[in-house]
Amino acid sequence: MTLTPQWLDELRSRITLSALIGRSVKITRAGREYKACCPFHNEKTPSFTINDEKGFYHCFGCSAHGDAIRWMTDQRGLSFMDAIKELAAEAGMDVPAPDPRAAQRAEKANNLYDVMAAAQDWFVQQLGSVAGAGARAYLEKRGFSATTIRDFGLGFAPDSRSGLKTALKAFETSMLIEAGLLIAVDGKEPYDRFRGRMMIPIRDPRGRVIAFGGRILGEGEPKYLNSPDTPLFDKGRTLYNLDKCSPASRQTGRVIVVEGYMDVIAIAQAGFADAVAPLGTALTEQQIQMLWRMTEKPLLCFDGDAAGQKAAIRAALRALPLLKPGHSLQFVTLPEGQDPDDLVKQSGPKALAALLDASEPLVDRLWRFEVAAGPLDTPEDRAGLKQRLGAHIANIADAEIRRHYSDAFRERFDRLFAPTSRTPFQPAASARKNLRQDWRKPQILPPGAETKSFNAKNPDFLVQGVLGALLRNPDLIQRHHEALSDYVPPDPNHAQLLGAMLDASFTKESLETEDLLTILDEKLYNVATALLHSNGKVFVFNRGEAGVESGGLSDVSKELGEAIRLMKQRPALEEALERATLLASLEMTDETFAEQQRLRAEKKAFDDRIIAFFRRDADGL
C-alpha cells in the first residue's frame, strides 16, 4: 500500500481536527483556536490547544503533539492503518490499493479476527450449557454477577481435545493453529489448547478478541493458561481490559494496574472500571508506555504477598530508564497476603479507594525497598546501601530526573544516619533583633572586599553573582528574561527570588533596586540583601554602577549574558561527570575510567574559563 505524502496531506486537510477531538473531549473556542483539559494527563486548567488552520494539537503541560492521525493512534489506541481507514471513510477518500503481499496479510488478519470471534461465541454458549455447570458455580462462588459475566464475555472450554475444533470446522485447521486455539504436534492430530477451563477473552483497544486466558477450575497446573503469541496477539504489548479502561480513565484521570484478569473483573464490579493487568509477565517497557498514554502516574496495585511486591519492584526498575518529566509510577501497598479482590470483598470498595489515595511515589518505593534489603549497622552496610541507590540513579536516562533522584536519595541517606547529639544553631537575641529591624528599609552597601577571593568549585557562586547583578540593575531582568525563564537555581531561595524578579519585571515598566526590594517578603528580602553585600567585585558586570563607564548598561548586559550562558551550561557538565564517576565506581574498566577522566578535564577547563572570564582585571581592584 502506497500512502504518498500528498495523499496524507489531502486526508488531513479534509478532517476538521477540533470536530474530531470534540467527540471525546469537551473543547471551548479561544480566539482562532480551541482549548481543552488535556486528555493525555490529568489537569484542571486547560493547556491543550487545537489549531484547525495548522491541523495540529499541542499540550503545553505534557508536550503531547500531533495531527488527526496521531490523535487516532495515541488517544483512540488504533493502529496506523486502522486510523487511516477510519479517517479516510469520514473524509470520503479511497485508501490506495494495497500491494498483493500487504493485501494477503490484511486478509489473513481479518480472517483470524473472524476465527477468534467464533471461538468466543462458542465458549460463551458452553458456559450456559449443561457442561458449564461447574464453571457457573465457580463464578457464583467468586461473587460475579450476571452483568459482569456478560460484560467481560466470560465463557467455558469443555474438557475435550476436539470440542472447539469440531465446533469451528468451517475454518481451516491451519487457521485455528495460527490463532493459537489448537496445538499442533508433529505426527499427531492437532487438538484443543484450552480444555476444562473458564475462558476470559483478551481484546485489543477496539474491543476485538485477539487471544484468551483460561483458568483451571479444579486442581492442576498451570492455574492460568494464555494464548501463545500470534499475528494478532503479543502479550508484551497487550494490556488486559484496555478497551474498557481507556474511556473510564478519561473520566477518573487514573489507571489501576493489578496482577491478573480476576482482579480486574472483581474491582470493576466494585466500581473501579479503570483497571488493567499484564498478561502473565512482568510489566514490560511497551506496557509502561501504553499506560503513560492514558495517565502520567499509573497506580501499581499488586498483591500484598512477597511475589506481588517483587513484581512491583521489577516494574519500578524497568521504568527507571524510561522516566520523563511528569511521568512516573505510583505504588499501592495492600495488606499482607491480600490481593485487590480479597480487599474489596472483605473490607469494601472504600478500603481500596483509601489505599489508592495513599499511594507512594516511585522514589519512595525504591528507597524503602533498599533500606529493608539488609542490615545497616556497619559502615560497610551503609556503603552497600549507597552503592545500590547509586546503581538505580545511573539507570535513569533523563539528566534532570537523575539529578533530582540523586538529591532525594542523598537527603534521605543523610537524615537516616545523621548524628542526633548536635544542638541546632540559634543566633543570639541581639542578632535576631538586628535581622528583623527596619527590614523594609534597604540600605544598599557596596560589595565587600572579601568577595575578591572566590571558589569556582562552589556551584552557587555564579548564580549568586548573576542574581546580584540583576538586583543592582533591575532593568536587565527584562532584557535577559527569555534566557532566565527556563533556568531553576539549585538553591530554593535563589529559585524563589529569581521567580519574584521575573514576575516583577512584567508588572512594572521600570524598576529600581529599592522598589524591587520592597515587594519581596521578609525571607526573600534577606536573601536579596545578602547577595547585594557579597559576590560583587569578583564579577566584571558587578564592578561599579551601570552607566558610569563608557559602555553603560549595554556593556553590563553583554557581560551578564555570557555569565548566564555559562551558568546554564554548568549543571549539565556536572551531571555528566557525576554519572561517569558513578559508573566508574560500579564497573571500573578502561572505557569508564577514560570517560571519567575526559569529563574531569573538561570540567577543569570549564572552571578555568569561568575564572578567567570573571576575574578579568580583578587584580586592579
Shared domain check, 545 and 494: yes
For the ranges 115-119, 467-471, 598-602, the one whose mean pLDDT is highest = 115-119
Can you give the CATH number for the domain in which 41 is found? 3.90.580.10
- SS3 category, 227: coil
Same domain, 62 and 13: yes
Strand residue runs (E) in 354-498:
360-361
579 and 443, same structural domain?
yes
Same domain, 45 and 72: yes
All cell numbers assigned to 492: 530554593
List of residues 6+ apart from 187 with CB closer than 8 A: none
Domain match, 77 and 155 both: no
Residue pair 78/55 in contact (Cβ under 8 Å)? The answer is no
209 and 113 fall within a common domain: yes
Q: Which residue has the cell 465463557?
A: 155
> Highest mean pLDDT range out of 63-77, 96-110, 473-487, 584-598?
63-77
Residue 137 lies in a domain: yes
Domain end among 326, 347, 368: 368
Q: Is residue 614 part of a domain?
A: yes
Interatomic CA distance for residues 260 and 242, integer angstroms: 13
Q: Are residues 553 and 465 in the same domain?
A: yes
Q: Which of 413, 398, 238 lies closest to 320 in space, CA to CA? A: 398
Burial group, residue 267, by CB count within 10 angstroms (0-12, 13-18, 19+): buried
Q: What is the mean pLDDT of residues 547-570?
A: 66
Return d(Cα 36, Cα 250) in angstroms, integer: 13
Q: Which residue has the cell 467481560?
A: 152
| Identity of the residue numbered 48 | F
Same domain, 54 and 199: no
Residue 426 within any structural domain of the chain: no
Domain that holds residue 132: 100-233
Q: State the CATH number of the domain containing residue 363.
A: 3.40.1360.10
**Which of 341, 368, 395 is where one domain is finished?**
368
Same domain, 228 and 272: no
- Domain count within the chain: 4
DSSP H stretches of helix in 94-132: 100-127
Question: Do 447 and 594 belong to one domain?
Answer: yes
Residues 85 and 112 in one domain: no
pLDDT tens-place string over residues 250-298: 788 899 999 999 999 999 999 999 999 998 778 999 899 889 888 899 9
Give the three cell numbers for residue 519: 515587594
- Tell me the DSSP string of 579-599: HHHHHHHHS--HHHHHHHHHH
Are residues 448 and 588 both part of a single domain?
Answer: yes
Q: What is the pLDDT of residue 474?
A: 83
Give the rounded distance of the alpha carbon of 584 from its chain centre: 28
- Residue the block writes with cell 544542638: 423
Burial 361-383 (b: 16+ CB within 10 A, else e): ebbebbbebbeeeeebeeeeeee
Q: Is residue 331 part of a domain?
A: yes
pLDDT at 453 over 60: no
Q: Which residues are CB-contacts of 304 (< 8 A; sequence separation ≥ 6)?
A: 333, 334, 335, 336, 337, 338, 339
| CATH number, domain containing residue 105 | 3.90.980.10
- Residue 288 resides in a domain: yes
pTM summary value: 0.58
